[in-house]
């Protein structure tokens, strides 16, 4: 059987590789499609920054302060995101874009992105995300203009073709979305410096009340009496914001999946000082699944004291102690107990025989109800996968089927109260309930007269994990 463990460990490594591939595929689901519609899962709902005259600066001169025609409503939201190779940028407004001519400076609504590599000096790159009109098709189109790259390191030159940009516009909204490779931007560190200039040809108003070009710059910078643009992004020492890539990394989607199997937990009734046997039974095995290896954490409340904390057989930790029923040929693949965490780590597996039906696996774990427990105190036992515990126990966890593929185990909680012979379940609408006999021995009497405790057994989806000790 020890030879089987070595053979199986190789299979588990392969299974882990498959699992990693699956996670990569899941991460792609939380991505961004550059189309101007900002409903992608890659954009964080709480990741938007709103720029107003409070945290931004109108570019007009000091003598023209307040030249913005509508400072209350001329504002915009922006967000950055990255998947590790690409920088995504998006902006949106609550007003329609404008178009006068093809001049990117003041001919149409324009979002300008400034980038700077160092903490001081002038900008290294600017990109105009322009709103333009195509005479041939008689339609408004996205256009990238005035890509300026002052960063001259080999291989870092940015071209218009390197920038993917799309927008979506209505009579009362405008949104843009862009994607640029981090390498093309020369972003190689953990953060980058940026500034934004959002402008429109009719955003301002002059002294004669004519609509004129104006822009709102982020981040806010101070104007001086001598030069109201002294701290603008295109000036040496201009004000830039800094953003860490870790803060904008696209989160992986974790799709909900059905568990391939779950557990029934039965906690017998008892008084303070009593020893009780908690049973954990396989249930809900998927029709097309069979279990070759099962792994879990078993945790308990403070008022339950484990009777066995050191395995009787160190070669088969906790298997002979707790394995009331398992398929022929099964043995332990690892086990630990942490008093600090009130937690067992258990891993049992077999060579040729797999668990194929409900009840094929039954674990019986003895506990003592604490001497100072009071009537009505809650007793709780859980089966679960906890990432923090896995890290602390220095293990990697997964449940495996007969074809050495990962299975999703259902986690479960069971609760009862000290000294009660009849307690009602307190469960959510998604939970199920299971009866518990007054002792660990199954009752053969009529169910109508059997003393039972209604337990809350809440099944939830656990992460698929291989239990395998790290080297």
pLDDT averaged per 10 residues in sequence order, the chain, 471 residues: 41 33 36 92 93 90 65 94 95 94 84 84 85 88 82 64 93 95 88 94 85 92 81 87 94 72 94 96 91 94 96 92 95 94 94 91 97 94 87 85 86 88 32 33 28 28 30 24
- Backbone conformation region of residue 231, classed left if phi is above 0, alpha if psi is from -120 to 50, else beta: alpha
CATH number of the domain at 262-469, out of 1.10.3720.10, 3.40.190.10, 2.60.40.680, 3.40.50.300? 2.60.40.680
Residues 259-289 as b/e (b if ≥16 CB within 10 A, e otherwise) read bbbbbbbbbbbbebeeebbbbbbbbbbeeeb
Q: What is the DSSP letter of 230?
A: T
Quote the tokens at residue 448: 């109508």
452 CB burial (10 A radius; 0-12, 13-18, 19+): middle
| Cα 173 off chain centre by | 30
Distance CA 432, CA 422 (A): 17
| Spans of all domains in the chain | 31-248, 262-469
State how far the alpha carbon of 319 is from the alpha carbons of 181, 267, 365, 393, in Å: 53, 20, 11, 18
Distance CA 325, CA 350 (A): 13
What pLDDT is attached to residue 16? 33
What pLDDT is attached to residue 256? 66
Question: Who's near 391: CB < 8 A, 6+ residues apart?
Answer: none
Q: Is 245 helix (H, G, I), strand (E, B) or coil?
A: helix
What pLDDT is attached to residue 425? 30
Q: What is the torsional sign of CA 188, 190, 194, 198?
A: positive
What pLDDT is attached to residue 156? 57
| Maximum Cα–Cα distance across the chain | 97
Q: What is the DSSP letter of 402?
A: T
Q: Is the CATH number 2.60.40.1190 carried by domain 31-248?
A: yes
Q: Is the peptide bond before 219 cis (omega within 30 degrees of 0)?
A: yes
Distance CA 260, CA 42 (A): 29
Quote the tokens at residue 146: 């005035």
pTM comes to: 0.51
Do the Cβ atoms of 270 and 326 come closer than 8 Å? no
Nearest to 357 by CA among 401, 423, 296, 291: 291
Name beta bridge partners: 139.
134
Nearest to 299 by CA among 260, 331, 263: 263
256 backbone dihedrals φ, ψ, rounded to 5°? -75, 130
147 CB burial (10 A radius; 0-12, 13-18, 19+): middle
Tokens 């699956």: give the residue. 22
Tokens 């059987």: give the residue. 1
What pLDDT is attached to residue 434? 36
State how far the alpha carbon of 336 is from the alpha carbons of 80, 105, 129, 317, 390, in Å: 45, 68, 59, 8, 11
Quote the tokens at residue 400: 């495996």
């Amino acid at each position: 059987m020890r030879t089987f463990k070595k053979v199986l460990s190789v299979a588990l490594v392969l299974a882990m590789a498959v699992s990693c591939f699956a996670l990569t595929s899941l991460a792609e689901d939380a991505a961004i499609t550059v189309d101007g519609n900002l409903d992608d899962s890659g954009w964080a709902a709480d990741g938007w920054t709103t720029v107003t005259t409070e945290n931004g600066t109108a570019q007009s001169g000091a003598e023209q302060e307040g030249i913005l025609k509508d400072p209350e409503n001329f504002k915009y939201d922006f967000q950055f995101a990255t998947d590790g190779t690409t920088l995504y940028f998006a902006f949106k407004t609550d007003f329609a874009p404008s178009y006068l001519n093809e001049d990117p400076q003041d001919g149409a609504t324009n979002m300008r992105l400034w980038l700077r590599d160092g903490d001081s000096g002038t900008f290294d790159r600017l990109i105009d995300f322009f709103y333009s009109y195509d005479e041939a098709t008689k339609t408004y189109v996205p256009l990238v203009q005035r890509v300026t790259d002052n960063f001259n390191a080999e291989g870092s030159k940015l071209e218009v073709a390197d920038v993917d940009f799309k927008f979506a516009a209505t009579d009362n909204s405008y949104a843009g979305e862009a994607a640029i490779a981090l390498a093309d931007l020369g972003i190689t560190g953990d953060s980058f410096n940026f500034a934004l200039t959002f402008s429109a040809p009719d955003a301002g108003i002059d002294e004669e009340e004519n609509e004129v070009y104006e822009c709102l710059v982020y981040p806010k910078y101070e104007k001086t009496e001598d030069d109201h643009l002294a701290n603008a992004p295109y000036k040496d020492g201009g004000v830039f914001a800094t953003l860490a890539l870790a803060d904008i990394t696209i989160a992986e989607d974790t799709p909900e999946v059905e568990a391939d199997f779950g557990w029934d937990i039965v906690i017998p009734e008892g008084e303070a000082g009593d020893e009780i046997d908690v049973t954990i039974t396989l249930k809900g095995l998927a029709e097309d699944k069979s279990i070759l290896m099962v792994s879990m954490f078993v945790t308990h409340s403070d008022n339950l004291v484990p009777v066995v904390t050191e395995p009787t057989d160190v070669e088969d930790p906790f298997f002979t102690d707790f394995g009331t029923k398992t398929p022929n040929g099964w043995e332990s693949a690892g086990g630990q107990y942490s008093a600090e965490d009130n937690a067992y780590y258990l891993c049992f597996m077999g060579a040729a025989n797999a668990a194929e039906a409900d009840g094929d696996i039954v674990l019986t774990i003895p506990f003592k109800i604490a001497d100072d427990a009071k009537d009505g105190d809650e007793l709780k036992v859980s089966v679960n996968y906890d990432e923090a515990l896995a890290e602390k126990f220095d293990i990697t966890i997964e449940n495996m089927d007969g074809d050495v593929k990962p299975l999703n185990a259902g986690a479960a909680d069971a609760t009862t109260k000290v000294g009660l012979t009849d307690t009602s379940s307190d469960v959510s609408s998604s939970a199920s309930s299971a009866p518990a006999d007054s002792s660990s021995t199954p009752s053969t009497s009529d169910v109508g007269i059997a003393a039972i405790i209604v337990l809350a057994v809440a099944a939830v989806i656990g992460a698929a994990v291989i239990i395998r000790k790290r080297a």
